[in-house]
Structure formats: structure tokens, C-alpha cells
Amino acid sequence: MIAARKAGRHAEIAGAGIGGLTAAAALARRGWSVTVHERASTLRTFGAGIYIWSNGLRVLKAVGAYDKATVGAHVGPRFHTRDHTNATMEEIPINGPGDARLVTILRETLINSLVGVCRENGVEIRVDSEAVGAGADGELILAGGMRRKADLVIGADGINSAVRDSLDLLLYRKHLGYGAIRMLIPRSNDDVPVEDRDRYIEYFTGTRRILYTPASATDLYVALCCRSDDARALAVPVDRALWTGSFPYLANLVARFGEAGRWDAFEVTKLRQWSKGRVAILGDAAHAMPPYLGQGGGCALMNALGLAVAVGDADDVEKALDGWEARERPLTEHTQDTSENLGSMNFWPDDVRSAVLKIVGKSRQLGEERMRTARHVPTGTEAFAV
């Protein structure tokens, strides 16, 4: 437990997602009083899995959420990318000696673990509470007009952040013309050959991809990725005949897709600056990225803890926020840029993609660049090994 240092400090946070809850937990553990405002009427998240790499696991340890977050998690032995004939193009080493760690968990489990730490540390979480803006002098403005004063306001209200936009901080939002339908289904032994069952596998065919992800002993997380103008492929309920046609060797799996699923388009968001006065912008609100490195949530976790470390016992919150951005932003931008570059291969012909990935897979330097975020020791986690 971190000793309470600045008693009397108060934070108001918009958004009870990964970023907002992590910041709330980390600030509360530093002696701050914290109120989180969530627009939705419950704290439940939608049914999907999430990849958490070593960097994110360290943050979960540092905020005290690790044990509950990883209950029942899946630890895959390999990450494969496969071409349109189901041949392996690249194998990414994970979870072996000297490799980055990677676990997959249910989003629900992750959110519940963070909510648990928040509650244990006295954070007040209000649902049905929508933020509509903020004042740079330390005010969160709620729908209905109520204004809540704080030493620190955090806009962790996702890609369409009202807090960010009220302060005119947006540099750009770039839509990438690609996205994914995500769903959870029960695991079945007949989906893939026995040697593939516990692996993470990304199957490519043309501009479509299927990501196969065991997320617990019983849950399979599937992401169906396609261009934003591929109207039949992005329809929910999923067009099973269309997806079987693209991935005939996954016919058993596709046949089991149900009616549920959620489509999200990928984008990159960059801000002019991550804070204004006493208001910080965090997570997807500040730095959305496509999920090709599985690090959007990882960056939200790292920057939330980094923010709490920066302001924890600072005398000058505004100056501390400048220091936070200077320290955390370079790695986040590297992660955004690398993710965006990796996404360009979705649009390549199959044979070009196969040839490039086979070469990339042999390049140690490129492999290290790709793993830089996963291997990073985030601010505030130096004492925690994973």
C-alpha cells in the first residue's frame, strides 16, 4: 500500500473504462479522494477479450488489480500469423524465457478487477452521470449543468471525448478505413486442429482477417476484421456464408458465430497537448490507435498510473501534468505509429503480405521495435516483475 501523502486533494474523472478506473485506483492509493462519472447506467462492458502484455500486467500489479484481473486468464504458447492458405507467415515468440509476457482475459474481468480496487480505496463511482465538458481551472461539467470543482479533472471518456473537445485539444482524428466485429463464444475442440487450440492466431485472406483468441478455459474471443466499406463483411449478425467463403478451413468456427457482435472502426487520435490547466486527457480520448499491437488498453493503463505518479504529491498540478506528458507521450506515439504502419498490410495482395511477413519475422531489429512497448517498464512499476 502506498502511503497517503497529499490528504485533501480531489480528482473528478469522466469515464469508467480502463483508463479512468486505473487513474482513480492509483490516485486513491496515493491519498486522493476521487469521484468517477460513467455515462452508462452500469459498469458492465461488452463481451470481448483483451490482450494484455507485460507492460500492462506490471501496471495491474502496481495498482493492486493483477490477481483478480488474471483469474482464469489464458496464457498462449505462440502467436501465429497465417496466410490465405492457412500456412504460417510469422510466429511471434511470447511467454517463453526472455520473451514478453502476454495473457488474454475477458474485458469484464479486467474492468471488475479495477472497480474492486477503486471501491477498496474509497473511490466514488457514479453511473448515469455524463460529462459534457471541463473548465481548465479544474471543473468537470455534467449534463444538467452541475459543475464539480477538483484539483485535477481527467477526461477518460473514450474516442468521442466530450471533455477533450470542450477544451479544443484535438490535433486530428484519422479514420483508417478498417475495423472489427468482436464477439465471445464458448470454446470448442472442433474449431481448429488440436495443435492450434491454445495458440493466438491471426488468419489473413485478401482484406479480411480473423483473430482467434482463447480468453479463458471456456471462452473464445473472435475478431472479424475488414475494410469499413466491406458492407457484407461488417454486418452484424455475421454473414456466415461470406466469412466461410473467405476462410474455408475455419468453417466449423464460423458456423458457431451467434447473433451478437459489435463493430468498431479503427482510428488514430492525436492531441495538441494532453492537458490544459488542471484537466488531463487520458486513454483513447488522447491517443486512440488501431489494435494491431494490442496496446491501446496497455497505453491507457501505463499513462493512467504515470499520471497518478506525476501529480501524486506534486505542489503544482499543472506543471506535473506537463512533466507527465513529456515522459509518457514519446512511447505512446511510437506505439500509435507502429500500430498504424502494421495496419497498412491489410490492404496488400496476399502474396506481397506473405513475402514481407516472412522477411519481417526473421528481422531481430524489427521484432524488437514491435515489442518495445510490451517490454517497457512503465512509470511506477519498477518494483513489480511479471
Position among 51, 66, 212, 292 found at the interface with ligand FAD (CB under 6 A): 51
Residue 164, interface with ligand FAD (CB under 6 A)?
no
Residue 18, interface with ligand FAD (CB under 6 A)?
yes
Position among 73, 102, 162, 253 found at the interface with ligand FAD (CB under 6 A): 162
Q: Which helix (H) or strand (E) holds 360?
A: helix 350-362
Residue 340, interface with ligand FAD (CB under 6 A)?
no
In terms of CB distance, is 130 or 318 closer to ligand FAD? 130
In terms of CB distance, is 151 or 284 closer to ligand FAD? 284
Taking the C-alpha atoms of residue 257 and residue 1, their distance in angstroms, rounded to an integer, is 44
Residue 65, interface with ligand FAD (CB under 6 A)?
no
The pair phi, psi for residue 30, each rounded to 5°, is: -100, 15
Residue 260, interface with ligand FAD (CB under 6 A)?
no
Position among 102, 141, 215, 300 found at the interface with ligand FAD (CB under 6 A): 300
Per-position x/- string for 109-138, each x denoting binding to ligand FAD as judged by CB under 6 A, each - no binding: ---------------------xx-------
In terms of CB distance, is 89 or 142 closer to ligand FAD? 142
Q: Which amino acid is it at 382?
A: E
Give, in degrees to the nearest 5, the angle at Cα 299 between 57 and 153: 110
Specify whether the CB–CB gap between 18 and 283 falls below 8 A.
yes
Residue 180, interface with ligand FAD (CB under 6 A)?
yes
Nearest to 287 by CA among 130, 164, 380, 153: 164
Residue 157, interface with ligand FAD (CB under 6 A)?
yes
Q: Is 258 exposed, middle or buried (0-12, 13-18, 19+ CB in 10 A)?
A: exposed
Taking the C-alpha atoms of residue 250 and residue 357, their distance in angstroms, rounded to an integer, is 22
Residue 19, interface with ligand FAD (CB under 6 A)?
yes
Position among 47, 138, 214, 298 found at the interface with ligand FAD (CB under 6 A): 298
Stretch that binds ligand FAD, among 35-43, 69-77, 253-261, 310-318 (CB under 6 A): 35-43
Position among 16, 63, 183, 309 found at the interface with ligand FAD (CB under 6 A): 16
In terms of CB distance, is 219 or 284 closer to ligand FAD? 284
Taking the C-alpha atoms of residue 245 and residue 233, their distance in angstroms, rounded to an integer, is 11
Tell me the closest approach of the beta carbon of residue 225 to ligand FAD, in angstroms: 8
Stretch that binds ligand FAD, among 36-44, 60-68, 84-92, 226-234 (CB under 6 A): 36-44
Position among 156, 210, 215, 238 found at the interface with ligand FAD (CB under 6 A): 156
Look up residue 74 and give its DSSP letter.
B
Specify whether the CB–CB gap between 104 and 116 falls below 8 A.
no
Residue 331, interface with ligand FAD (CB under 6 A)?
no
Which residue do the cell numbers 461470406 mark?
242
Residue 312, interface with ligand FAD (CB under 6 A)?
no
Taking the C-alpha atoms of residue 203 and residue 31, their distance in angstroms, rounded to an integer, is 47
Look up residue 169 and give its DSSP letter.
-
Residue 182, interface with ligand FAD (CB under 6 A)?
yes
Tell me the closest approach of the beta carbon of residue 313 to ligand FAD, in angstroms: 25
Q: Which helix (H) or strand (E) holds 105?
A: strand 102-106
Residue 297, interface with ligand FAD (CB under 6 A)?
yes
Stretch that binds ligand FAD, among 8-16, 183-191, 251-259, 319-327 (CB under 6 A): 8-16
HEC string of 295-351 equals CHHHHHHHHHHHHHHHHCCCCCHHHHHHHHHHHHHHHHHHHHHHHHHHHHHHHCCHH
Specify whether the CB–CB gap between 137 and 278 falls below 8 A.
yes
Contact residues toward ligand FAD (CB under 6 A) are 14-20, 37-40, 50-51, 130-131, 156-158, 162, 180, 182, 223, 264, 283-285, 291, 294-298, 300
